[in-house]
Amino acid sequence: MTQPQTLQELMEKQKALLAEQNKPTWECYNMEERSAFEQLLICVLGPEKSGKSRLVATIGGIGPVLVIDLDKRKESISGLKNVFAITLQDPGNTTLMPTVVSDIDKILTLLETSKKKLGFCDLHVINPNVPEGTKIFTIAYDSIRSLAKANLNYILYQDPKIRSEISVSPTAKSYTPKDWRGWRGDTDNTQSILARSYALGLNVIFVAHTRAEEAENSTQENPLFTGRLTIDPPRYKQLLGLFNEVWLMELVNVNGVYLPKVRVKQGSQFNAATCLELDPVQDPNICDMIQKHIAKRKLVVK
C-alpha cells in the first residue's frame, strides 16, 4: 500500500477512514418496490425420502445453486441443471479433528471475499472447473440434522470439559454434552452460518427433517405426543422464526400413487408459512411457485 507523502494526502486518508467508520451499518428499503422472492430465506422440512432435496434443486432454474451436502446424498439431485454440490463429512475416527464446521467457514470466507471484490459470489472460487464470473444465486444446506451433529462434533472435540465420552471402539468415541453449553453452541453456530449466508445477498435454503412433537408433560419413561410435527432436532424450533418461508413436504395419495407436494400454509400437523401469494399446497417446483406468485400479484395490482 502506498504511504501518504504529504500532509494533504495524510489528511485526505484520515478523512476517508473517518467517513468509513461513520458509515451506517444499516440500509433502509422502500418495501413497496421490493418483492417477496427478491431474496428467499427458506426452511424446507419433511420426513425421510419425501423429496426435500429435489425441491431445493429446482431453484436452479433461477441460476446456479451451491448445495452443501452434509447427508452424503448428492446423488439424489443428479442430472439437474445449475446445481453444484460439495459433500462435507467429518473423519470416521473421532480421535481426529472434525472438519465440517471449519470447511463451511472456509467456503463462506471465500464467498465473502468474492462478494467484496466482485460484488457477487463467484462459483469459480469454490469450483475452479467452472468459468470465472459464474454467479451463485442460492446456497443450500442439506440437512440441519447433519449440521447439528457436525457442530457438536467440533464443539465437544475442542472442549473436553463440557462433554461425557464413551469408548465404542479402539479408534472411536461417542461424545455427549454434559450441559446446555454444547447445545447452545450448536444452535448459535447454525444461526451464524444462516446470517453469514444471507448477508451474501443469496437465496438461502436449509433442509430439515421432521419428527413427532412431544407434549410439554412428556417424559423419557412416559413419552406423550401432540399429534403434530416439529423440526428435528427439536431445539432448532427457535430458529424457524428466522425464515420467511417455512415449507412442509408431504406425500399425498393421488389415485393410489403417493406424490410429493409442498405445504406452504398452516395445516393440522404443522405451522407452515409463506410470504408468497400461493394456494396452501403446491407442486414441488420453486421456480413454478414464484411464477404463480407473480401472476397473482399482477391480478391484485390490476
Query: Does the pLDDT value for residue 276 go beyond 50?
Result: yes
Q: Which of 106-110, 153-157, 173-177, 275-279 has the lowest mean pLDDT?
A: 173-177
At 51, is the pLDDT very low, low, confident or very high (cuts 50, 70, 90)? Answer: very high
CA separation for the pair 172, 92 (Å, rounded): 8
At 4, is the pLDDT very low, low, confident or very high (cuts 50, 70, 90)? Answer: low
Q: Is 239 exposed, middle or buried (0-12, 13-18, 19+ CB in 10 A)?
A: middle
Buried b (16+ CB within 10 A) or exposed e, 62-78: bebbbbbbbbeebebbe
According to DSSP, the residues that pair with 262 across neighbouring strands are 249, 282
* SS3 category, 282: strand
At 300, is the pLDDT very low, low, confident or very high (cuts 50, 70, 90)? Answer: low
Q: Which domains, from first to last, does the chain contain?
A: 37-214+223-231 (3.40.50)
Q: What is the mean pLDDT of residues 18-34?
A: 77
Q: What is the mean pLDDT of residues 48-72?
A: 95
Q: Is the Cβ–Cβ distance between 46 and 249 less than 8 Å?
A: yes
| The pLDDT of residue 36 | 81
Q: What is the DSSP string of 165-202?
A: EEEEETTEEEEEESSHHHHHHHHHHHHHHHHHHHHTT-
